[in-house]
Structure 1
Amino acid sequence: MQPADALHHVEHWVFDLDNTLYPARSNLFAQIDRRMGEYIRSHYDLPEAEAKALQKRLFRDYGTTLRGLMNERAVDPGPFLEFVHDIDISAIGPSPTLAAALADLPGRKIVFTNGSVRHAERVLSRLGVVAQFDGIFDIVAADYVPKPDPGPYRAMLDLYGLAPGSTAMVEDMARNLLPAHQLGMTTVWVRTPSDWGQPLPGDGHIDIAVDDTAEWLAAVAAARRTL
């Protein structure tokens, strides 16, 4: 299927942030993962192995470690988010390909992330694409309810006035595309080496699978110019 054939109806674009707008090989999330473990270990005075086990259980049970800490331990989300996103982002740099493709595409472009606005702004600035985005819907805007809970998807669409049938969502975690599909959005999965990000056998909620967001968007923009 050619990009233009699948996306001729799309007027607006929703993007996950980490490992979606930049390649997973940049490995920024590994830093965030370590920072979460450090926060839990120091905040609750736990041995490293016990802190890591708690972190992973909360992620599995609640969708994000933060949500689990809020539900089970009443953690203040503000200091947690500030601590875990205090990372070195020098592994990513400007992406002229991504910036040009975003500028070429019609409609609104929104970042939809389980992270914070501050983290998203740092990453977008580093990529050189801040000017191409109309908004950031972060975990705070979602009232700390993470993807793939369907509630934040509806809230995000309503906030920015996006009709699901004319909106595409791009995301590296296959499970996070299921609510988008159920709402009628076109779903684009960015292939990932993460086991947790893979589709399950029989999943039918992914419309398009791509290897690199910037390269794919450039092809989409070029194809749309010929229509």
Structure 2
Amino acid sequence: MPPPAPVERNRGGAVTDSSTLMDRFAHIDTWVFDLDNTLYPQTADLWPKIDARITLFMMRLFGLDAISLRALQKHYYQRYGTTLRGLMIEHAIGAEHYLDFVHDIDRSSLAHNHSLAEAIAALPGRKLILTNGSRDHAIKTAKQIGIDHLFEDVFDIIAADFIAKPEAPAYERFFEQLSVDPKRSALFEDIPRNLIVPHQHGMTTVLVLPEAGETVEREAWEIATGEEAHVDFVTDDLVGFLEGLLA
């Protein structure tokens, strides 16, 4: 027996039943997913590991202690979309070594997600990953989850010429280089401000929140309820949401 379709909230908090949900996505032929904290649970340990590696990279670069550098690291992250972008602009840091260093992490804590793989595989049309990380990190992480074979392509920070989400040129390059029609595309993303420009371009936007009852470490500006005007749908159960589209 198939699982029951989830009840989701659309923009403004209104309840959306499964039939309405399917109708709202009937025109979608391109499914775009952020990687970190979206395709795997936000309570997983991958992002904290990457975050710690970023701090270590900056400690070696500037010769300062971690506490002194955390504020600068988060300042760059908020202002430029990624710490890397801030380091490139303000300190002329080369990207390749940085990306290799910060993504050199153990991913073995992630288990294969067979339910997610089945749900993504069943979606009609193209499937793409849009990430502020590197292609190598995206492929290795998706492989660990067991979903790497389902995606046509990965658009990473290098393909975006190191212009990170949420900046408009990052999305415009993505649309152009991968021939994506935003009006026929849906984007799943865990950071609300990364949905602003896609929504302006006509993408159907889905905010992926932490699972119910789970607490994750977030910056204040990253916390969202899903009530934002640029959020069309919000879910704390990505697999259930996708299964609801296919019910």
Flag whether TM exceeds 0.5 (same fold): yes
CA distance in 1, matches of 2:226, 2:243: 30
Mean alpha-carbon deviation: is it higher for 100-109 or for 190-199?
190-199
What TM-score comes out, normalization by structure 1 length?
Answer: 0.93
1:160-199 aligned within 5 A = 160-192=178-210, 193=216, 194=218, 195-199=220-224
User: Is the 1:173–1:196 contact (alpha carbons within 8 Å) kept by the matching residues of 2?
Assistant: no
Corresponding position of 1:139: 157
- Report how far residue 201 of structure 1 moved: 9.4
2:37 is aligned with 1:19: yes
Please state whether the residue corresponding to 1:53 is helix, strand or coil: helix
Please state whether the residue corresponding to 2:141 is helix, strand or coil: helix
CA distance in 2, matches of 1:199, 1:157: 26
CA distance in 2, matches of 1:182, 1:189: 15
State the Cα deviation string for residues 134-157 of structure 1 (Å, max 9, x = none).
000000000000000011111111
User: Is the 1:168–1:187 contact (alpha carbons within 8 Å) kept by the matching residues of 2?
Assistant: yes
User: Is the 1:164–1:183 contact (alpha carbons within 8 Å) kept by the matching residues of 2?
Assistant: yes
Please state whether the residue corresponding to 1:188 is helix, strand or coil: strand
CA distance in 1, matches of 2:45, 2:97: 23
Q: Which amino acid aligns with 1:206?
A: V
* Residues 1:168 and 1:202: Cα distance change in structure 2 (over 3 Å): closer
What TM-score comes out, normalization by structure 2 length?
Answer: 0.86
User: Is the 1:22–1:213 contact (alpha carbons within 8 Å) kept by the matching residues of 2?
Assistant: no
2:233 is aligned with 1:215: no
CA distance in 2, matches of 1:198, 1:150: 21
User: Is the 2:207–2:226 contact (alpha carbons within 8 Å) kept by the matching residues of 1?
Assistant: no
> Structure 1 regions of 5+ residues with no counterpart?
223-227
CA distance in 2, matches of 1:144, 1:203: 27
CA distance in 2, matches of 1:129, 1:47: 38
Match of 2:145 among 123, 127, 133: 127
> Structure 2 regions of 5+ residues with no counterpart?
1-15, 211-215
**Larger RCO of the pair (alpha carbons < 8 Å, separation 6+):** 2
CA distance in 2, matches of 1:13, 1:217: 11
* Residues 1:136 and 1:181: Cα distance change in structure 2 (over 3 Å): same
2:25 is aligned with 1:7: yes
Q: Give me the identity figure in percent.
A: 40
Mean alpha-carbon deviation: is it higher for 41-50 or for 107-116?
41-50
2:102 is aligned with 1:84: yes
Please state whether the residue corresponding to 2:205 is helix, strand or coil: strand
- Report how far residue 202 of structure 1 moved: 6.8
1:14-93 aligned within 5 A = 14-93=32-111
Structure 1 segments of 4 or more deviating over 4 A? Answer: none
Please state whether the residue corresponding to 1:24 is helix, strand or coil: coil
CA distance in 2, matches of 1:196, 1:117: 26
Which structure carries more helix by proportion? 1
